[in-house]
């Protein structure tokens, strides 16, 4: 089969790979119909996370079940499914409490050996899915791949930022970072009753995308974000701030600065490094700092209902549709921030 494989920083090749097989009786094989490039993939692409040479990339995807192991109960050949980017066993203490992202056997597709076993990912013609009864989500036949594919990862991530952070109806919400996660967080905040969403970025195209979704915007390259937010909120600051940039300390500090006293900073940006934070100031101002990871297994079905009823349309952030052979090009575009969400049609 054809697959997009990782060989080092900036080096992804589309070439032949062996087809996966059922290894455990709870496995399924899924033939992807759509996948998307996620911001987290970029950490592998840039070499910030080391994968295994030859590993197949991609973790945000959906498709059709090709084959199931003998212990799979809920799915059968031909079922249309969304695949949770997180693999969880469905049995441990965390899974029994629906806290799947902290499963004792947590893993993720296409990211290399971050959690032990390296699981081959979505940019391929066939993918092995462990713990299929937990990891697969039934996809309705009457909704397009474009609308459903982000239920695999980025949409539940944006949703969790808002829900786990405890956003309340009427909150003024600031989103730091207008990449896919930031924009989806803003859409979820609106869906759940934010009085306004103010989106912050420094890239013109991304601010434009935020504006097109109906958000107010602040260009961080030309104005002081905290001053701007205060001037938009009678000098108070934001009730709820989503930090959707990650990687470094600066966006986190900015988010803390922008939140009002007793407000909440909800962090969904991908953070690998340790930083010092202004703990004294956080205590004095009683700001809450909450970290969240998206949970497709827990929230997938709920999000599908929002999409199906027309209340949420995550396909609005898709800017490019490419083929499997064009995956390396998609990574280039996304790295240069020339693309927002790249969909790969398989």
3-state DSSP assignment of residue 21: coil
| Nearest residue (CB) to Zn ion, 104 versus 275 | 104
Least distance from Zn ion to the Cβ atom of residue 83, Å:
17
Which residue, 88 or 181, has its beta carbon nearer to Zn ion? Answer: 88
Closest approach of Zn ion to the CB of residue 295, in Å: 12
Q: Which is nearer to Zn ion, 66 or 89 (CB)?
A: 89
Token pair of 157, please? 């991530």
- Which CA distances in Å does 144 have to 158, 215, 314? 20, 25, 11
Residue closer to Zn ion (CB basis): 34 or 103: 103
> To the nearest whole angstrom, how small is the minimum distance from the Cβ of residue 185 to Zn ion?
26
Cα separation values, 236 from 111, 121, 153, 200, 261, Å: 41, 45, 33, 17, 8
Closest distance to Zn ion from the beta carbon of 102 (Å)? 8
> Which CB atom, from 130 or from 165, has the smaller least distance to Zn ion?
130
Work out how close the CB of 254 gets to Zn ion at its nearest, in angstroms, rounded to a whole number.
35
Residue nearer to Zn ion on the CB measure, 92 or 114 = 92
* C-beta closer to Zn ion: residue 103 or 188: 103
User: Token pair of 345, please?
Assistant: 């049609």
| Tokens found for residue 152 | 């695999």
DSSP for residue 320: E
Q: Give the CA distances from residue 22 to residues 30, 67, 237, 259, 339, in Å, rounded to whole numbers and listed in that order.
A: 11, 8, 53, 49, 35
| Residue 87 vs 111, nearer CB to Zn ion | 87
- Smallest gap from Cβ 321 to Zn ion, in A, equals 35
**Helix 154-164 and helix 296-308: axis angle, to 10°?**
100
Taking CB atoms, the residue at the shortest distance from Zn ion is 103
Which residues lie across from 37 on neighbouring strands? Answer: 342
Single out the residue of 322, 320, 12, 34 nearest to residue 180, CA to CA.
Answer: 320
User: Residue numbers of the site for Zn ion (CB under 5 A)?
Assistant: 88-89, 92, 95, 103
Task: Tell me how far, at minimum, the Cβ of 85 lies from Zn ion, in Å.
Answer: 15
> Which residue shows structure tokens 């695949």?
83
Q: What values do phi and psi take at 198, rounded to 5?
A: -115, 120
Burial 81-117 (b: 16+ CB within 10 A, else e): bbbbbbbbbbebebbeeeebbebebbbbbbbbebeee
Nearest alpha carbon to residue 103 among 339, 342, 281, 298: 298
Q: How far is the CB of 90 from Zn ion (least distance, A)?
A: 6
């Amino acid at each position: 089969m054809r697959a997009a494989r990782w060989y080092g920083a900036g080096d992804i090749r589309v070439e032949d790979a062996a087809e996966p097989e059922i290894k455990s009786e709870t496995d399924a094989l899924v033939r992807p119909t759509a996948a998307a490039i996620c911001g987290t993939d970029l950490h592998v692409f840039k070499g910030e996370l080391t994968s295994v040479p030859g590993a197949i990339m991609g973790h945000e995807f959906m498709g059709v079940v090709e084959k199931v192991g003998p212990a799979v109960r809920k799915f059968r050949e031909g079922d249309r499914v969304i695949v949770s980017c997180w693999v969880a066993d469905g049995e441990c203490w965390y899974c029994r409490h629906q806290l799947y992202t902290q499963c004792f056997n947590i893993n993720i597709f296409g990211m290399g050996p971050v959690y032990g076993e390296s699981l081959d990912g979505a940019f391929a013609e066939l993918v092995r899915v462990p713990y299929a009864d937990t990891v697969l989500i039934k996809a309705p036949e009457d909704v397009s791949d474009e609308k459903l594919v982000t239920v695999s990862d980025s949409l539940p991530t944006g949703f969790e930022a808002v829900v786990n952070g405890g956003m309340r109806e009427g909150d003024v919400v600031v989103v730091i970072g207008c990449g896919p996660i930031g924009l989806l967080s803003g859409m979820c905040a609106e869906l759940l009753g934010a009085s306004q969403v103010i989106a912050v970025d420094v890239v013109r195209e991304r601010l434009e995308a935020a504006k097109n979704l109906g958000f107010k915007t602040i260009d961080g390259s030309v104005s002081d974000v905290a001053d701007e937010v205060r001037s938009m909120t009678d000098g108070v600051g934001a009730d709820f701030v989503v930090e959707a940039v990650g990687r470094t300390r600066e966006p986190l500090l900015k988010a803390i600065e922008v939140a009002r006293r007793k407000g909440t900073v909800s962090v969904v940006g991908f953070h690998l490094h340790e930083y010092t934070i202004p703990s004294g100031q956080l205590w004095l101002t009683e700001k809450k700092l909450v970290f969240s990871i998206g949970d497709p297994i827990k929230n997938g079905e709920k999000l599908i209902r929002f999409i199906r009823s027309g209340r949420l349309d995550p396909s609005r952030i898709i800017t490019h549709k490419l083929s499997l052979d064009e995956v390396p090009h998609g990574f280039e575009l996304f790295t240069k921030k020339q693309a927002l969400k790249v969909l790969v049609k398989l």
